[in-house]
Amino acid sequence: MKKYIAILFFSLLAGQTMAQQEAMYSQYMFNTLAINPAYAGSRNVTSATALYRSQWIGIDGAPETLTFTIDAPVSNKKVGLGLQIFSDKIGVTQNTGALASYAYRIRMATGTLSFGLQAGYSQYRGNFSNVPLNSSGINNDAAYQDNVNKGLLNLGTGVYYNSDRFYVGLSAPQLLNNQLSEFKVAGNNTFSGQALHLFLATGYVIPLSPDFDLKPSVLVKGVQGSPIQADLNANLWIKQVFSIGFQYRTSADIAAMVEVQASPQFRLGYSYDRSTTNLVQFNSGSHEIMLRYEFGFEKGKTISPRYF
C-alpha cells in the first residue's frame, strides 16, 4: 500500500509541478555549464563532463538524469563555446535535447567576467494517460486524459565571474514559457507550462595549509510557483588530489560527496543524497556520478589547480 501511495504521489507531481523543473544536480559546482551558459570556456582548456543522477532509489518513476557537456575557449580565450546534451526523466515524463552556449569573456585585474547565451531544442514526452489515479486504475481526471509529445525551443542567459579562488554566477537557463499541455487551470499558467528558473551560485576556496583547502559553495534556486531552495556545500581538498564534502539542501536532502583528481586531466566525483522529508520512508537515497576529462595539457607541464 505504501509503495502504491508513493507511486501515485510521484506521478501526480510529475504531471503537475515537477515536469517544469530544470534537472537537479548535487555536484552542480563541477557541472556549472548545465545551469549557466556564461561558464563556457572558463577553465581555459577544452573540458568534457558527463554526469548521471538516479534519484530516490526504490520509487517507480523517480527522476533519472543524464547530461554531457563540453566547452572550450576560442579567439585567444575571449570567447567560450559549449554544448550540452541531456535526458531528464521523471514520473511519466521525459525531456531530451541539446543546448549550444556562447560566452563573451572580459579579462579583469584579478579574474574574468563572462556574459553568456544559450539556445537549443528538446523533445518533451508525457504519458499522462497511464498515471494510476486510484487503485482501480481508472483515470477520469481531465488533466490526465491526453499524452504529450512536443518539440520545445529553449533560450537562456547568464553572467559569471571567476578568479583563481572565487566564483559567482547568476543565470536563467529557461526563458521561454513553453506550454507542455493543452490542459489549463484558471489563474495558474505554471500547471501546463515551463516556468522561469533563476540560479545564483557562488563559492570560495579557503587555504588552510599547504595540504588542505576548504571550498564552501552555495546554490540558490528560484522557480515561479515554488519556494526558494538553497544548496549549502563544504568540500575539503587534500593535497589538491582528494576531496570529501557535505551538502544540505533546504527542506529536501542531506548529501555526502567525494572527488578524486586521478590525473591532471581526469576527475571522478560521486555523491549520495538522503531525503529529510517524508519521502525517506519510500526510497533508499539518490546516487550521482560525475566524470570530467580535460584536453590540451602538455606532457610534463605543471598544471595549476582548477577549483571551479
Rounded to 5 degrees, φ, ψ at 253 are -145, 165
Does position 300 have pLDDT exceeding 50, yes or no?
A: no
- With respect to residue 147, please indicate whether it lies within any of the assigned structural domains: yes
Residue 306 lies in a domain: no
For residue 73, the number of C-alpha atoms closer than 13 Å in the C-beta half-sphere is 16
- Asked whether residue 41 is assigned to any structural domain, the reply reads yes
Amino acid letter at 32? T
pLDDT of residue 183: 59
In contact, 38 and 168? CB cutoff 8 Å:
no
Domain extent, residue 91, equals 2-294
In a domain, 148, yes or no: yes
Indicate whether 292 pLDDT > 80: yes
- Mean pLDDT for the chain overall: 85
Tell me, what DSSP letter sits at residue 23?
A: P
* Position 304 in a domain: no
**C-beta of residue 270 within 8 angstroms of C-beta of residue 243:** no
pLDDT tens for 122-144 read 999 988 777 766 666 666 666 66
Give residue-wise pLDDT tens across range 242-291: 999 999 999 889 999 999 999 989 999 999 999 998 888 888 999 999 99
**What is d(CA 152, CA 95) in angstroms, rounded to the nearest whole number?**
9
Does 197 map to a domain? yes
- What is the C-alpha to C-alpha distance for residues 203 and 207, in angstroms, rounded to an integer? 13
Give the CATH number for residue 214. Answer: 2.40.160.40
308 versus 223: the higher-pLDDT residue is: 223
Domain count, the chain: 1
Q: Is the dihedral of CA 172, 173, 175, 178 positive or negative?
A: negative
Residue 299 lies in a domain: no
Flag whether 132 is in a domain: yes
